[in-house]
Amino acid sequence: MVAAGLCALAAVAVPLSPHHPLASAAAVVGPVLLLLVVALRRRLLWTAAGAALMAAGDVVFRVLWWVHGAPVVPSPADLGFLLGYLALLRAVHLAARGGRTGAGLDALIVVVGPAAVVAAAVHAPLSALATTGDPLRTAQALVAPLFDLALLVLVVRASVAGALTRLQAAALQLAVVLLLLGNAGYLVLVEIAPDVLRPWLGAPFGLAFSLAVLAVVLHPARPPSAGPGAGSSRLVLALLPASVCLPAGALVAQGLAGADVDWQVLGTGALLAAALSTARLLGALRTAAAQARELERLVLVDDLTGLPNRRACAADLEQALAAEDGGAALALLDLDRFKAVNDSLGHAGGDALLRAAALAWASALPPTAGLYRWGGEEFVVLLRGTDAPRAEGVLQDVRLATPAPQTVSAGLVARRSGEGARELLARADALLYRAKDTGRDRVCTDAPPSGTREAAGAHAPTAS
């Protein structure tokens, strides 16, 4: 960390002294070499590779400058810079891998506004460079800022995804912004800057790589698990609208200042920011709708069996009783000696029995019937518009469908005139206890006997 501070100090101090090519080169190359060393020690191989390639490219660039007496653009050094950028992009991409959905789009929206302003700043000199008829030089001047923007998108994505600590994120974001300002500023100022300002054109690069060293030093032994915290969420909420408004604000500022309004670049940036923000909003709405559906499902569905739960049963029962005819039959089911199953097979065995019984009973019921898990080993069957004899026949089918050797007892009632849900359930519960007390494995009902069912084992005792 001390070495990174000394590199940053050198990057700022060198331009203050009489300009010397070796001192200027050391102020830029030194932080890159330090990044290589600390990345190797932290086993961040892609970062180390990027630093090595960047350092090699800068050494070649400086040597060619010294030999020819002027910067050589384009040159073989550009290959080192290109490969170095690719390695650094890979390193940041791996750091952000597995982040939350939408982090990439958030990062793109955050960057697109400042990118439009930077593009507007370099638009005029880049157009002038393109008119010189040197396409390679134009491409070389354009490539570095584009890579800087791509790197900034990935760094912001890693930040909002929670893959970086706050200090790491701040250091890396500032480092990439300095790289972008350095490359864009060099493009804008290299031809028009006075001699006293030219030594400062390399300062952003030295500062940027010094901050990158600091970020690597701060790299924790165990990186934070990807996932946005409250801090990153607040940061995104603050940066998204600021980025969207930035191109339009720059247009207004140019107009108020009486300068030439670069409406092509800034207008395109504003439209792109608006389109990306709209896409992000639609995605957020879809996510919210999906979460609402899942929450509703969790509220009304029993996780173990997948059946509607007690809350859903109460709602459906009230709806059935509020119908015009109000006809309904209801049965409370209870698996016999379920505690013994838990004691012998464990809770996993008991859960498996509950799932198997629910599946078997649902298959035995007609499509219009409702099957609910009431709680524990108790279930409810709701038969709308069904009279007592038909309901008893359905419940006998359910009883016989119970997975062997398990048995089930049930209390079956048909709604009486003016009877509410609470009274209906109370009668069914009392009949369920009667079924348990009279031998289990049976359906007890207080409806008049139909005379169509035998009584014994498969027969249901009928209360008079």
Same domain (yes/no): 47, 180: yes
d(CA 135, CA 9): 37
Check: CB of residue 392 under 8 Å from CB of residue 450: yes
Same domain (yes/no): 270, 339: no
d(CA 112, CA 244): 8
Same domain (yes/no): 275, 319: no
Same domain (yes/no): 317, 284: no
CATH number at residue 362: 3.30.70.270
Task: Determine the length of the chain.
Answer: 464
Q: How far is CA 312 from CA 317, 326, 423, in A?
A: 8, 18, 18
d(CA 428, CA 408): 14
Q: What Rg value do the Cα atoms of the chain yield, rounded?
A: 37
Asked, for residue 453, whether it belongs to a domain, the answer is no
Of the chain, the end-to-end C-alpha distance in Å amounts to 89
Same domain (yes/no): 84, 25: yes
- Where a domain ends, among 254, 269, 296? 296
Same domain (yes/no): 285, 384: no
What is the count of structural domains for the chain? 2
Asked, for residue 66, whether it belongs to a domain, the answer is yes
Classify the phi-psi angles of 440: left when phi > 0, otherwise alpha if psi is within -120 to 50, otherwise beta: left
Burial class of residue 200, CB neighbours in 10 A (0-12, 13-18, 19+): middle
pLDDT score, position 127: 65
d(CA 225, CA 108): 22
Asked, for residue 98, whether it belongs to a domain, the answer is yes
- Where a domain ends, among 262, 296, 330? 296
Same domain (yes/no): 285, 325: no
d(CA 41, CA 240): 36
pLDDT score, position 226: 47
Asked, for residue 150, whether it belongs to a domain, the answer is yes
Asked, for residue 452, whether it belongs to a domain, the answer is no
Burial class of residue 106, CB neighbours in 10 A (0-12, 13-18, 19+): buried
d(CA 401, CA 308): 20
Same domain (yes/no): 180, 45: yes
**DSSP result, 402-430:** SPTT--EEEEEEEPPTT--HHHHHHHHHH
pLDDT tens digits along 304-314:
999 999 999 99
Asked, for residue 422, whether it belongs to a domain, the answer is yes
Domain ranges, residue 272: 2-296
Asked, for residue 233, whether it belongs to a domain, the answer is yes
Please give, one letter per residue, the 3-state secondary structure of 191-246.
CCCCCCCHHHHHHHHHHHHHHHHHHHHCCCCCCCCCCCCHHHHHHHHHHHHHHHHH
pLDDT score, position 453: 40
Asked, for residue 86, whether it belongs to a domain, the answer is yes
Q: How far is CA 255 from CA 259, 266, 455, in A?
A: 6, 12, 95
H-assigned helices in 69-102:
77-95
Same domain (yes/no): 320, 202: no
- Give the type of residue at 253: A
Output phi, psi for 229, to 5 deg. -95, -175
d(CA 110, CA 75): 33
Check: CB of residue 54 under 8 Å from CB of residue 32: yes
Output phi, psi for 217, to 5 deg. -60, -35
Query: What sign does the dihedral 128-134-135-137 (CA atoms) show?
Result: negative
Check: CB of residue 126 under 8 Å from CB of residue 191: no
- Where a domain ends, among 263, 296, 329? 296
- Give the type of residue at 175: A
Interior/surface letters 328-364, b for 16+ CB within 10 angstroms, e for the rest? bbbbbbbbbebeebbeeeeeeebeebbeebbbbbbeb
Same domain (yes/no): 46, 166: yes
> Which residue is associated with the tokens 């007890």?
444
Strand 408-414, strand 443-445: pairing: parallel
Check: CB of residue 293 under 8 Å from CB of residue 356: no
Ranges of the chain whose pLDDT falls below 50: 10-14, 226, 228-231, 451-464
Same domain (yes/no): 289, 325: no
d(CA 362, CA 381): 10
Same domain (yes/no): 270, 381: no
Q: How far is CA 150 from CA 3, 98, 213, 315, in A?
A: 28, 18, 20, 54
- Give the type of residue at 131: T
Enzyme catalytic residues: 377
Output phi, psi for 26, to 5 deg. -65, -35
